[in-house]
């Protein structure tokens, strides 16, 4: 239903003056437009807003106040409005714009109020310049955007920071791990060094003690030999020469043990097996047996049996160390005249070296400690030694991947069996490593 304000009744002069006063004092632009879209009247505020004087606009098409791009559309809207005039806001959902006399375009909000003036339908357009509001809105929008950009940046920074922190934490834990490893490596090498120092100092103490006896023997035998200068003293001289020889051998053994031990501890000994033809191996073993025979006590015959037809995979130095160590024990811990048997056997996959004597034997309770450093059985008594020889033998055998076994009976004798693997695979591996 059309509800038009009927102004026809406003006839009295007083009311007209009041209306004019309100009209011109209003702080909103009011433009009265007739049914043809021509400006009929406008208030002072509208004059200021659009920069026109009233006389410049009156009678002109209202589209003069609308930017040309919308002018045509506006004519259509205006006609539609007149078909169904009602009080309402213009351009709902659209941004309305108006144009000033100086061509400046500005945003507006317009309320339309149709009214009846006598027979004619007129429309009052209430125009508000919303430039400031729009600016504020744009500002708010820009600030919101800025805020969004800022929070996005903060989020990015946060993520980057978290990633960096995680990376640093990881790097830290890696560094910690490395440090721990280094620490344990250092501790290990320090402990090894300490052990070696202990070993050396213990050895120096022992050697200075152990060297006294052979040196005293040598000294006394030498002075006695000097006295036994008669033709009938040949036996006595020979006896003292033997004693000197034994004393020298004892000292040499001590030094050999020490040297081997230090080299083992310092990691300077590695197992370098080579392929020895069977006759080469047999010659090598016989040579060692002959050397050891020279150091044997009177009547200690060293027999050497070698049952070896195939080639042998072995480190020559290792073979020498093993045999001299074990045979020197057999000599040392056996009385004169007691035979010593060296036996070498090569089976399909191992080389077995056995040294058997008929010496003092080893007490049962001591047998399990024989490979410990500096260990000497209770019955070793005054017999020279360091207690290192068998420990060294065991270490060498371990290097070769073999085994060593000792069987002994107190007062009857001792048998030492050393087994060194000789499988086809060991030969192949050896070929490979060349």
Ligand X SMILES: Nc1ncnc2c1ncn2[C@@H]1O[C@H](COP(=O)(O)OP(=O)(O)O)[C@@H](O)[C@H]1O
Which spans of this chain sit near ligand X (rule: CB under 6 A)? 329-330, 333, 357, 359-362, 370, 375-377, 380, 385-391, 414
With CB under 5 to 8 Å by kind, the binding choice for 395 among ligand X, Mg ion, none is none
Query: Whose Cβ is closer to ligand X: residue 116's or residue 379's?
Result: 379
Query: Whose Cβ is closer to ligand X: residue 114's or residue 389's?
Result: 389
With CB under 5 to 8 Å by kind, the binding choice for 404 among ligand X, Mg ion, none is none
Distance CA 247, CA 238 (A): 14
Q: Tell me if 359 contacts Mg ion by CB under 5 A.
A: no
With CB under 5 to 8 Å by kind, the binding choice for 302 among ligand X, Mg ion, none is none
With CB under 5 to 8 Å by kind, the binding choice for 360 among ligand X, Mg ion, none is ligand X
* Smallest separation (angstroms) from ligand X to the CB of 205: 15
Q: Tell me if 329 contacts Mg ion by CB under 5 A.
A: yes
Calculate the alpha carbon distances from 250 to 71, 329, 386 in Å.
128, 11, 10
With CB under 5 to 8 Å by kind, the binding choice for 370 among ligand X, Mg ion, none is ligand X
Q: Name the one range near Mg ion by CB under 5 A: 108-116, 240-248, 352-360, 384-392.
A: 384-392
* Smallest separation (angstroms) from ligand X to the CB of 362: 5
Burial class (CB in 10 A: 0-12, 13-18, 19+), 101: middle
Q: Tell me if 414 contacts Mg ion by CB under 5 A.
A: no
Query: Whose Cβ is closer to ligand X: residue 125's or residue 362's?
Result: 362
* Smallest separation (angstroms) from ligand X to the CB of 264: 13
With CB under 5 to 8 Å by kind, the binding choice for 124 among ligand X, Mg ion, none is none
With CB under 5 to 8 Å by kind, the binding choice for 376 among Mg ion, ligand X, none is ligand X
Distance CA 398, CA 404 (A): 9
Site for Mg ion in 119-158 (CB under 5 A): none
Query: Whose Cβ is closer to ligand X: residue 43's or residue 414's?
Result: 414
Query: Residue count at the site for Mg ion (CB under 5 A)?
Result: 2
Query: Whose Cβ is closer to ligand X: residue 240's or residue 391's?
Result: 391
Calculate the alpha carbon distances from 18 to 12, 22, 107 in Å.
10, 6, 30
Query: Whose Cβ is closer to Mg ion: residue 66's or residue 370's?
Result: 370
With CB under 5 to 8 Å by kind, the binding choice for 357 among ligand X, Mg ion, none is ligand X
Distance CA 339, CA 323 (A): 16
Query: Whose Cβ is closer to ligand X: residue 386's or residue 400's?
Result: 386
* Smallest separation (angstroms) from Mg ion to the CB of 390: 6
Site for Mg ion in 303-322 (CB under 5 A): none
Q: Of residues 114, 361, 389, 413, which one binds Mg ion by CB under 5 A? A: 389
Query: Whose Cβ is closer to ligand X: residue 85's or residue 214's?
Result: 214
Footprint of Mg ion (CB under 5 A): 329, 389
């Amino acid at each position: 239903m059309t509800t038009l304000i009927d102004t026809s009744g406003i006839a009295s002069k007083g009311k007209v003056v009041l209306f004019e006063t309100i009209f011109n004092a209003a702080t909103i632009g009011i433009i009265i437009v007739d049914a043809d879209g021509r400006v009929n009247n406008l208030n002072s505020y509208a004059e200021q807003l659009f920069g026109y004087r009233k006389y410049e606009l009156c009678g002109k098409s209202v589209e003069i106040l609308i930017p040309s791009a919308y002018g045509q559309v506006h004519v259509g809207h205006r006609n539609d409005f007149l078909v169904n005039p009602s009080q309402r806001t213009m351009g709902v959902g659209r941004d309305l714009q108006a144009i000033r006399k100086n061509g400046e375009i500005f945003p507006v909000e317009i309320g339309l109020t149709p009214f009846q003036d006598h027979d004619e339908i007129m429309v009052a357009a209430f125009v508000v310049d919303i430039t400031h509001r729009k600016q504020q809105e744009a500002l708010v929008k820009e600030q919101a955007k800025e805020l969004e950009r800022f929070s996005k940046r903060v989020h990015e920074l946060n993520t980057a920071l978290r990633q960096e922190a995680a990376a640093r934490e990881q790097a830290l834990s890696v560094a910690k791990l490395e440090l721990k490893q280094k620490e344990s490596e250092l501790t290990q090498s320090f402990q090894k060094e300490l052990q070696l120092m202990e070993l050396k100092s213990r050895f120096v103490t022992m050697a200075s003690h152990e060297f006294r006896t052979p040196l005293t023997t040598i000294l006394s035998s030498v002075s006695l030999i000097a006295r036994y200068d008669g033709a009938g003293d040949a036996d006595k001289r020979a006896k003292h020469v033997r004693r000197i020889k034994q004393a020298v051998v004892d000292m040499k053994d001590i030094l050999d043990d020490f040297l081997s031990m230090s080299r083992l501890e310092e990691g300077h000994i590695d197992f370098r097996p080579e392929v020895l033809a069977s006759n080469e191996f047999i010659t090598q073993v016989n040579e060692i047996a002959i050397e050891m025979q020279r150091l044997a006590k009177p009547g200690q015959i060293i027999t050497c049996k070698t049952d070896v037809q195939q080639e042998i995979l072995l480190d020559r130095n290792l073979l020498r160390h093993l045999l001299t160590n074990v045979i020197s024990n057999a000599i040392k811990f056996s009385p004169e005249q007691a035979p010593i048997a060296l036996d070498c056997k090569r089976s399909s996959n191992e080389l077995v070296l056995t040294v058997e004597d008929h010496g003092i034997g080893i007490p049962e309770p001591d047998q399990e400690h024989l490979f410990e450093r500096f260990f000497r059985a209770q019955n070793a008594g005054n017999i020279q030694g360091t207690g290192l020889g068998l420990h060294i033998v065991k270490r060498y055998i371990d290097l070769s991947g073999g085994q060593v076994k000792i069987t002994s009976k107190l007062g009857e004798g001792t048998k030492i069996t050393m087994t060194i693997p000789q499988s086809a695979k060991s030969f192949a591996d050896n070929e490979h490593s060349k």
